[in-house]
Structure formats: C-alpha cells, structure tokens
Amino acid sequence: MTNELARQEGIASIGSALHRAENALRGATGGLLRELGLTVTQHAVLAAVHRAPGGMSGAQLARLCQVTPQTMATVLSTLETRELLDREPSGVHRRVLIARLTRTGRETLRRADLAVGAAEERIGDAFEPQERNQLWSYLQRIVAALS
C-alpha cells in the first residue's frame, strides 16, 4: 500500500507510525529512567561506553547518540559529576578525553537496563514469537533501506 493510498484510507504513513512508536517507547523508558535519575540520552551514553572496552571520546558518543558535540559535552559533564563515568586523556591525542564507566556507573547501567528491559518486554508481549521475528526483520530492512 502506498503512502497516498494509506492516507486516503485514514492510515498514518509508515514514518508517522514509526515516529509514534518511538515516542511511546521513549515515554515508557524515559519515565523508568527518571526514577533512576537518568535521561534516555544519559542511559544511551552509559550503554555505549560499556560496550566499548577502551572507552569512547565525546565526539564518538555524540555521533552514536545523534546529539550535537555541545549537548554531549553537557551530558558527559553531568555523568562525570555524578561519578558514573570518568574521563582521561587519550593515549593517541592528549586533548581528546576518553570516557570510561566507574563502578557506580556500571551498577547504575545494570539497574537502568533492567528498567528498560521491562518496557521492551511489554513490546514483546504484544506479539507472538513469529510476529516478533518478523517485526525485527522489518525494522532491520527499514534501517538498511535508509542507510
């Protein structure tokens, strides 16, 4: 069904439906993360740093989290002040600071992941196993088509 035909039949465009689904997920996870004193972006940063064994620079994190370098600098400063991560000069370039999780940061991330996992589980519960697999496949195809 084309977007035009979908609009004529009162169905939202694919982009609009994806946007609404993303907003619903952000709302559900954002509320759970707020209880832990985190924003969605702060959680994304903690998770990204955790997945990078050698740490990550602010520029790398900004690109990955799709925020401006200025926004990322603020996020990193906040996380560092809360002692969830620390930053030290890169071995390659002294002016580049590499972020690494602290013990408190790892524990906070663990708790945040449990909260976010609960929200994602609610999504999974709305589908049969085969439908979840199809949804995952469709989402990957969307990413591939737009990349």
CATH code (residue 58): 1.10.10.10
Helix H, strand E, coil C: the string for 78-126 is HHHHCCCEEEEECCCCCCCEEEEECHHHHHHHHHHHHHHHHHHHHHHHC
Tell me the residue range of the domain where 123 lies. 3-146
What is the per-residue pLDDT across 8-17, written as a single tens digit (0 to 9) for each?
Answer: 555 668 888 8
pTM for the complete prediction? 0.79
Q: Which of 71, 68, 75 is nearest to 49 (CA)?
A: 75
Number of domains in the chain: 1
What is the per-residue pLDDT across 69-97, written as a single tens digit (0 to 9) for each?
Answer: 999 999 999 999 999 999 998 877 778 89
